[in-house]
Amino acid sequence: MCDSHGHSHDGCSHEAIPDIPDVYRYDMCSHIDFDKVTVLNEAVEGSGKKVFKSMEQKDDKTKFVDSDCDAELLFNIPFSGHVRITGLSIVGEDNETHPAKIKIFKDKEAMSFDDCSIVADQEIDLKMDSRGLVDYPLKASKFGNLSHLSILVCANFGADETRVHYIGLRGEFQHEFRQRIAIATYESRAQMKDHKNAIPDAVGRTLF
């Protein structure tokens, strides 16, 4: 597991967050393959994937995930095709359970906490944000073409457990997986050679 729990957050809970206009769209949840999403160290099984809501539901506090034995959470997020992720937003409680630091990994499928010792593609120190007003841009050179994203919550603001209400991802869908495209193309074509041994229903029948 990550050992990034010791850094100080003095005064963070009182840091002012400007009430900025809603200029970003966090709508990549529509491209997440929810059947394959896994969240490690969630206190309630299946609760972690519920934080990937539509942007219009980000203020819904009835759906959230709590960490279990410590402050860490690991989200493994597969997409339905290749995507470009340009930024994210994280909503938590306005207290010490809010995530304070995350590490983000590209295309590392089925990550476990034992895998978190590798160098992350990006690390972000978070502000305490209970309204989803802070946008965190991602490095364009790192997240321009991916099919899987892992987000590790390394630490919170001092509580024993972490609570997350919402994770919004912004970006764009690029293209389907090539294997799916190939299968769809094959099935859409009427290949006569595939039926050369078939006898049409109207041929060879004896009429009485």
Cβ–Cβ < 8 Å for 32, 78 = yes
Q: Where are the beta strands (DSSP E) in 25-68?
A: 38-40, 65-66
Q: Could you give the number of structural domains in the chain? A: 1
Which residues neighbour 54 within 8 Å (Cβ) at sequence distance 6 or greater?
A: 27, 29, 30
Residue 206 lies in a domain: no
Residue 199 lies in a domain: no
Tokens 């899987």 locate to 148
Q: What is the CATH number of the domain that holds 68?
A: 2.60.120.470
Residue 151 lies in a domain: yes
- pTM value is 0.77
Q: How does pLDDT run across 61-80, given as a tens digit for each residue?
A: 999 999 999 999 999 999 99
Q: How does pLDDT run across 73-106, given as a tens digit for each residue?
A: 999 999 999 999 999 999 999 999 999 999 999 9
Residue 1 lies in a domain: no
Residue 4 lies in a domain: no
Tell me how many helices (H) and strands (E) the chain has: 1, 8
Q: How does pLDDT run across 161-182, given as a tens digit for each residue?
A: 999 999 999 999 999 987 655 4
- Residue-range definition of the domain harbouring residue 98: 12-192
Q: Is the dihedral of CA 67, 36, 146, 107 positive or negative?
A: positive
